[in-house]
Amino acid sequence: MPNVNRQVLLKSRPAAIPQAGNFEIVERDVPVPGDRQFLVRNEFLSVEPAMRGWVSAAANYSQPVGIGEVMRSFAAGTVVESRHPGYAVGDKVMGMLGWQDYAVSDGANITRKVRETDLPLSLSLGVLGLNGITAYFGLLDLGAPKPGDTVVVSTAAGAVGSAVGQIARLMGCRTVGITGGPVKAKLCTGEFGYDAVIDYKAGDVAAALKAACPDGVDVYFDNTSGAISDAVIAQIAVGARIVICGTASVSSWDPWPAGPRVERHILVKRARMSGLLIFDYAHRYDEAVTRLAAWVRDGKLKYREDIADGIEHAPGAIAELYRGENLGKKLIRLR
Amino acid sequence: MPNVNRQVLLKSRPAAIPQAGNFEIVERDVPVPGDRQFLVRNEFLSVEPAMRGWVSAAANYSQPVGIGEVMRSFAAGTVVESRHPGYAVGDKVMGMLGWQDYAVSDGANITRKVRETDLPLSLSLGVLGLNGITAYFGLLDLGAPKPGDTVVVSTAAGAVGSAVGQIARLMGCRTVGITGGPVKAKLCTGEFGYDAVIDYKAGDVAAALKAACPDGVDVYFDNTSGAISDAVIAQIAVGARIVICGTASVSSWDPWPAGPRVERHILVKRARMSGLLIFDYAHRYDEAVTRLAAWVRDGKLKYREDIADGIEHAPGAIAELYRGENLGKKLIRLR
């Protein structure tokens, strides 16, 4: 274990996608837990699209990370010192522990104890973490899929999307994935079992959708917004459910960009568009993880990880994510 | 009773709002009901915003009215001749009977028998008809109002909007109406009991909304789309429900006009936008009318009617509606 605490601080506020230069790495003393606190040695740091929102000054669902503060992040690690009755040395935890080697916690920023110790700890940040949980509740609660429905997923090979597609298939749906490039397209039909895949970089998305969804789209799990969503929403079926989970294809929302007005279409199709923020489901995380873990053990829910070794990879990682360079859940492993 | 059947036919397809010149009035023989049919003498014809969609060639939720066909319309009248076991002479009915003096029916186009015979028959086309039923299910089912919620209604003095505002108030909500001009604004706070009213013709809607809804908008019942909706949606609260009932302020949806993209906002606010087509609730109409009629009898649900005498007023009536000239439910009374 390192004898200093390396931390990634927010140095400047990005105009759009956070770049490596917006962060700096500093070395600090390893913190000492006080009464009713414990020390976590982080083993994996998470990198996710939502981080763009967390560092944005524009109104969002959480206070922005302050300049000079440790970058907000989920991380998973092991309790290495404890003065808290609820946490013992050796416990595995996942929570908002930040981009750093060590974090002191009083438990308030712990998302959950990781009890699936037969599975790799890194999964608690991916398919058994907020990504899988987001897929689970977004699809099942807001998307309300019925057997035989056609479910379309954008960023279909991503950490959330790949789980959505597989869960939809487990629910008896036909699944159509939208992704970029032949490598990810092959992952979709090969590893993640999509019935059809559309490579948005390869041609006309609207025409490909028409061919793949002859009866229209019953559920659209949207991680992108933008032109891809416009094409999908234009082809929804009566009673469709649109789940807004992410807006990765739009680089700035300040001011709101223009797009085709959806109101008339939502009305005529009696559709429903719902926004998902997974933190609203915190009281039900364990329900989701129990079911997701069972599917993982049975080989019914596959996942990919894209792990970079060393905290020095963290500052540039959000920008890499938005360039779509990763295959699978993007993580930083700490040495 | 007239001894001819005057009918309003669709003569040409309008590009946007149907005008008087798109229709012609012809005289035909009074039809004779066959076996298991009955003859209705129409007493009131309905005029409503949805008619624009019914004559539009663009894809919609129903087949467009054909050129040379009787204009599709709700109407209310009395059975004057019957060879149908389910309908007796003297029965009051409301249904898709068309803009004409007489209609033969086999029952399939009857929306409901009017059993509230202690109340005026015209109400079956307004506050106890599809307008009231739309307000009832749109607000209660899709809007899901809770006591203390702030409910904003566009076209607040209209046939649907005025009922929405009053039902929301009966549910314990704070109600804010948006309407055009001082006469309608006065109706809103006076007759329909809105807690606040915004005259969109008088000034800055966004600023007025901010003053009227300091904690944001929990439910937005949208009859307009366009700039008014943009201002309201920008001020929704976390967990808001947006009910898309009509799009009266947008004159053409072919192609879809551009507007601010709502996806990010829907996500951040964990909001829900739902489209309402009241025909989906046909199996529950009687439930709504029973409750609405009780409120009308108790003086808790007020309504206005704007009745023109004579079928010759029908052709221009849709355009008048879109110019916002009517105060209350627009009807044509047949002599």
Express each pLDDT in A20-47 by its tens digit: 999 999 999 999 999 999 999 999 999 9
* The pLDDT of residue B60 is above 70: no
Cβ atoms of A144 and A241 within 8 Å: the answer is yes
* The pLDDT of residue A300 is above 90: yes
Strand A38-46 with A329-333, pairing:
antiparallel
Looking at the structure, give the CATH architecture of the domain made up of residues A131-279. Answer: 3-Layer(aba) Sandwich (3.40)
Average pLDDT over residues A308-327: 92
> Which of A26-30, A168-172, A247-251, B244-248 bottoms out in mean pLDDT, i.e. has the lowest?
A247-251
Q: Using alpha carbons, select from B73, B71, B119, B120 the residue that is nearest to residue B97.
A: B73
* The pLDDT of residue B321 is above 80: yes
Strand B174-179 with B196-199, pairing:
parallel
* The pLDDT of residue A296 is above 80: yes
Q: How confident is the model at residue B2 (pLDDT cuts 50, 70, 90)?
A: confident
* Residue B63, Cβ density class (10 Å: 0-12 exposed, 13-18 middle, ≥19 buried): exposed
* The pLDDT of residue A149 is above 70: yes
CATH code, residues B4-126+303-333: 3.90.180.10
Write down the pLDDT at residue A56: 87
Sign for the pseudo-dihedral over CA of A196, A198, A203, A206: positive
Structure tokens at B154: 């566009």
Q: How confident is the model at residue A252 (pLDDT cuts 50, 70, 90)?
A: confident
Looking at the structure, give the CATH architecture of the domain made up of residues B130-279. Answer: 3-Layer(aba) Sandwich (3.40)
Partner residue opposite A277 with nearest CB, options B229, B270, B273: B270
Partner residue opposite A261 with nearest CB, options B225, B245, B264: B225
ipTM surpassing 0.95, yes or no?
Answer: no
Chain A residue numbers with beta carbons less than 8 Å from the beta carbon of B250 are 261, 263-264
Average pLDDT over residues A160-166: 97
* The pLDDT of residue A145 is above 60: yes
Q: What is the enclosing helix (H) or strand (E) of A229? A: helix A226-233
Alpha-carbon torsion, ordered A168, A169, A175, A178, to 10 deg: 70
Average pLDDT over residues A158-172: 97
Chain B residue numbers with beta carbons less than 8 Å from the beta carbon of A56 are none
Cβ atoms of B240 and B219 within 8 Å: the answer is yes
Average pLDDT over residues A158-174: 97
Reported as a single tens digit per residue, the pLDDT across B196-214 is 999 999 999 999 999 999 9
* The pLDDT of residue A174 is above 90: yes
Contact B222 A261 (CB under 8 A): no
Sign for the pseudo-dihedral over CA of A174, A179, A185, A190: negative
Residue B132: φ, ψ to 5°: -65, -40
Write down the pLDDT at residue B178: 98
pLDDT, mean over chain B: 95
Sign for the pseudo-dihedral over CA of B205, B227, A235, B279: positive
Per-residue b/e over B69-92, b at no fewer than 16 CB within 10 Å? ebbbbbbbbbbbbbebeebeeebb
Reported as a single tens digit per residue, the pLDDT across A66-79 is 999 999 999 999 99
Instruction: State the smallest CA–CA distance between residue B147 and chain A in angstroms.
Output: 21
CATH 3.40.50.720 occupies which residues in chain A? 131-279
Cβ atoms of B4 and B29 within 8 Å: the answer is yes
Cβ atoms of A195 and A188 within 8 Å: the answer is no
B85 vs A50, higher pLDDT: B85
Nearest residue in chain B measured CA to CA from A268: B61
Contact A258 B259 (CB under 8 A): yes
Average pLDDT over residues B139-147: 98
Write down the pLDDT at residue B325: 79
* The pLDDT of residue A227 is above 70: yes
Q: How confident is the model at residue A268 (pLDDT cuts 50, 70, 90)?
A: very high
Write down the pLDDT at residue B328: 85
Q: Is the peptide bond before A255 cis (omega within 30 degrees of 0)?
A: yes
Write down the pLDDT at residue B61: 65
The rounded distance, in Å, linking the Cα atoms of B277 and B281 is 8
* The pLDDT of residue A206 is above 70: yes
Intra-chain end-to-end CA distance of chain A, in Å: 8
B252 vs B285, higher pLDDT: B285
Sheet strands (E) in chain B: 4-10, 23-29, 38-46, 75-82, 92-95, 102-105, 110-113, 150-154, 174-179, 196-199, 217-222, 236-244, 258-260, 272-275, 305-309, 329-333
Q: What is the DSSP string of A168-184?
A: HHHTT-EEEEEESSHHH
Reported as a single tens digit per residue, the pLDDT across B153-163 is 999 999 999 99
Write down the pLDDT at residue B59: 57
Strand A92-95 with A75-82, pairing:
antiparallel
Degrees (nearest 5) of the Cα angle A80, A82, A85? 140
* The pLDDT of residue B57 is above 90: no
Sorted by sequence, the CB contacts under 8 Å of residue A110 that are 6+ apart come out as A87, A93, A94, A95
* The pLDDT of residue A285 is above 90: yes
* The pLDDT of residue A333 is above 70: yes
CATH 3.90.180.10 occupies which residues in chain B? 4-126+303-333
* The pLDDT of residue A61 is above 80: no
Q: How confident is the model at residue A15 (pLDDT cuts 50, 70, 90)?
A: confident
Strand A150-154 with A217-222, pairing:
parallel
* Residue B108, Cβ density class (10 Å: 0-12 exposed, 13-18 middle, ≥19 buried): exposed
* The pLDDT of residue B62 is above 80: no
A245 to chain B, any CB pair closer than 8 A? The answer is yes
Contact B261 A264 (CB under 8 A): no
Chain B residue numbers with beta carbons less than 8 Å from the beta carbon of A60 are 268
Average pLDDT over residues B175-194: 96
Write down the pLDDT at residue A290: 97
Distances, alpha carbon B83 to alpha carbons B38, B102, B107, in Å: 6, 16, 11
B248 vs B90, higher pLDDT: B90
* The pLDDT of residue A335 is above 90: no
The rounded distance, in Å, linking the Cα atoms of A154 and A179 is 6
Taking the CA atoms of chain A, what radius of gyration do you get in angstroms?
Answer: 20
Chain B residue numbers with beta carbons less than 8 Å from the beta carbon of A257 are 260-261
Write down the pLDDT at residue B327: 83
Q: Treating both helix axes as pointing N-terminal to C-terminal, what angle do A226-233 and A205-212 enclose, rounded to 10 degrees?
A: 40
* The pLDDT of residue A59 is above 60: no
The rounded distance, in Å, linking the Cα atoms of B143 and B312 is 38
DSSP label at residue A100: B
- Tell me, what amino acid is at A110? I
